[in-house]
Amino acid sequence: MGVIQEQRTILEPNIGVVVLGYGRRVARHYLVHRLLRAFFTIFLVVSLSFFMFRLMPGSPVEVFIANLQTQYSMTFEEAQQQAASLFSIDLDAPVYLQYFDYLGNLAQGDLGSSLVSRGVPVSTLILRYLPWTLFSVGMGLVISFSVGVMLGMLMAYKRDTFLDYTLTTFASVTHSIPNYLLAIMLIVYLGVQWELLSIAKMRGSLSPGVKPGLTVPFIRDAFYHAALPILTYVLTTIGGWMLTMRSSTEATLGEDYVTVAKARGLPERRIATAYVGRNAALPLFTQLTIAIAFVVGGSFIIESIFVYQGLGLVLLNAINQRDYPVMQGVFLVLTSMVVLVNLFADLVYSRLDPRIRLGGGE
């Protein structure tokens, strides 16, 4: 009997070590698989965008010459001479050579320089305007997600009441309106019809003379200029969170563990937060990453409507001027942000639900 117990005490730690090692290998394999897929996605999108940009009608030189002729009444020869001195790269080289040069520079961390703003690195432009886009988009999504989740739970608890019908109608209407149409409506009604806001003063990302820093004037001015883009992002996304959270909460209220918690006599507030709210909001975190992709991708439309100086407006101006390096750099940053956010969501969700990680490891 003592021999059997001694053998059992020897085998149990070994079994634990084997299981732990297997779990680490599965998790490592899942992480490597996700990283490789994210890298391949970024590489594929960047490569396709490189060739698609060059399929657009008109080259940077042609667009620049046409602007000089239109704005300054230059002759074609004068505009051509000025363009020849401005564009130092060889745009007549074969596309595949330009592509390999681009990949070589990209591997060294060089995004190139703007063709229109001569000598200005693309990385400088991105670092200058990216924080404003992240600020407006981030604040809009945080507000809409937080308020939408709370209102969705309220709709589920007050279902089939006047409050539920009112909030459901509001969510359905706002969710169905395109963001660019809502942005135009805000300008027309708040700025023109009712004259509640001065749209001209709210253009840009910061007022002249205001220095960036953790000061009250800077924070107040930043929110003032980003108010309309943030309001647009909130109104066009909050309806989806409300409707999704409502259905998810109703499904969670029917679970057995909620019934057991009520039978144990737990306070209703604890049940709503620890049992219902936490489990009902879990599927929404994956949808949050998808929402970030849509909002960031469509930010250039909103920023162009409100003339908000973010990365989206830089991309729109680069498209109009056929500034290839700026277009490629901004598109690379936006694509990387979307892919990395989705990768982060996959990793977090795999920690919350180990079945996903084990399934990926198999």
Predicted confidence (pLDDT) per residue in 254-311, tens digit: 888 888 888 888 888 888 877 788 788 777 877 787 777 677 777 778 988 999 988 8
Give yes or no for residue 186 having a pLDDT over 90: yes
pLDDT at position 91 is 61
Where do we find the tokens 């680069």?
318
Residue 121, beta-bridge partner list: 113
Where do we find the tokens 């936006």?
334
Hey, where are the domains in the chain?
A: 10-107, 122-321
**Cβ-Cβ contacts under 8 Å for 217 (sequence gap 6 or more):** 210
Mean of the per-residue pLDDT values for the chain? Answer: 80
Predicted confidence (pLDDT) per residue in 42-69, tens digit: 899 889 988 888 888 777 777 777 777 7
- Exposure string of 164-188, with b = 16+ CB inside 10 Å and e = fewer, is beebbeebeebbeeebeebbeebbe
Closest CA to 327 of 106, 45, 122: 122
- Token pair recorded at residue 306: 């409100």
Closest CA to 122 of 348, 334, 323: 323
d(C-alpha 64, C-alpha 82), whole Å: 9
Predicted confidence (pLDDT) per residue in 116-128, tens digit: 777 788 889 999 9
For domain 122-321, the CATH architecture is Orthogonal Bundle (1.10)
Could you give the angle at which helices 122-157 and 299-306 cross, rounded to 10 degrees? 100
Which of the 8 DSSP states describes residue 211?
Answer: P
d(C-alpha 250, C-alpha 64), whole Å: 58
* Helix residue spans in the chain (DSSP H): 2-54, 60-72, 76-86, 95-107, 122-157, 162-176, 179-186, 216-253, 256-263, 268-270, 278-297, 299-306, 311-321, 324-352, 354-361
Higher pLDDT, 288 or 83: 288
